[in-house]
Structure 1
Amino acid sequence: MHANALIAEDEPLLAANLQAELQRLWPELRIVASVGDGVSALQQGLALQPDVVFLDIRMPGMSGLEAAEALAEDWPDDGRPLPLLVFVTAYDEYALRAFERAALDYVLKPLQPERLAKTCQRLQAALQARGQPAALESTLAPMLDQLRGLFGVSVAGASALQANANTNTNASTSTSTSTSTPLRMIQASAGNTITMVPVSDVIYFEAADKYVRVITSDREHLIRVSLRELLQQLDPQAFWQIHRGTVVRADAIASATRDEAGKLTLNLRGHSAHLTVSRLYADRFRAM
Structure 2
Amino acid sequence: MQATALIAEDEPLLAAHLHAELQRLWPELRVLATVGDGASALRECLALAPDVVFLDIRMPGMNGLDAAQALAEDWPDGDAAAVGAPPLVVFVTAYDEYAVRAFERAALDYVLKPVQPERLARTCERLREALSRRSTAPDRLEPLVTQLRGLLGIEGEAAEAGVASGVEPLRMIQASAGNTITMIPVDEVLFFESADKYVRVVTADREHLIRLSLRDLLQRLDAQTFWQIHRGTVVRADAIASASRDEAGKLTLRLRGHEARLVVSRLYADRFKGM
TM-score, normalised by the number of residues in structure 2: 0.70
The CA deviation at 1:30 is: 0.3
What runs of 5+ residues in structure 2 fail to find an aligned partner? none
* Structure-2 separation of matches of 1:104 and 1:232: 31
CA deviation profile, 1:104-153 (whole Å, cap 9, x unmatched): 2333443344554554455455445x35xxx57xx542222223555686
1:49-128 correspondence to structure 2 within 5 Å:
49-59=49-59, 63-76=63-76, 77-79=78-80, 80-90=84-94, 99=103, 102-113=106-117, 115-117=119-121, 119-120=123-124, 122-124=126-128, 126-127=130-131
* Structure-2 separation of matches of 1:82 and 1:197: 41
Which of 134, 142, 145 aligns to 1:144? It is: 142
TM-score, normalised by the number of residues in structure 1: 0.67
1:35 aligns with: 34
Tell me the secondary structure at the aligned position of residue 154 of structure 2.
helix
The CA deviation at 1:44 is: 3.8
CA deviation profile, 1:229-273 (whole Å, cap 9, x unmatched): 333555556543333321123343221233455543211135443
The CA deviation at 1:55 is: 1.8
CA contact (8 A) 1:182 1:235 kept: no
2:13 aligns with: 13
CA deviation profile, 1:196-228 (whole Å, cap 9, x unmatched): 745x65432111232223334566554432112
Tell me the secondary structure at the aligned position of residue 147 of structure 1.
helix
* Structure-2 separation of matches of 1:181 and 1:146: 34
* Structure-2 separation of matches of 1:217 and 1:68: 34
1:184 aligns with: 169
1:275 aligns with: 262
Tell me the secondary structure at the aligned position of residue 154 of structure 1.
coil
2:200 aligns with: 213
* Structure-2 separation of matches of 1:106 and 1:113: 13
The CA deviation at 1:182 is: 7.5
* Structure-1 separation of matches of 2:167 and 2:103: 28
* Structure-1 separation of matches of 2:26 and 2:228: 41
CA contact (8 A) 1:107 1:115 kept: yes
CA contact (8 A) 1:265 1:277 kept: yes
What runs of 5+ residues in structure 1 fail to find an aligned partner? 160-174
Paired AA for residue 36 in structure 1: V
* Structure-1 separation of matches of 2:106 and 2:166: 29
Tell me the secondary structure at the aligned position of residue 85 of structure 2.
coil
Q: How many residues align?
A: 262
Tell me the secondary structure at the aligned position of residue 73 of structure 2.
helix
CA contact (8 A) 1:55 1:87 kept: yes
Pair 1:247–1:143, CA change in 2 (3 A)? same
2:217 aligns with: 230
CA contact (8 A) 1:212 1:227 kept: yes
CA contact (8 A) 1:9 1:34 kept: no
* Structure-2 separation of matches of 1:7 and 1:204: 35
1:168 aligns with: none
Comparing 146-155 with 222-231, greater Cα deviation is found at 146-155
CA contact (8 A) 1:103 1:143 kept: no
The CA deviation at 1:16 is: 1.5
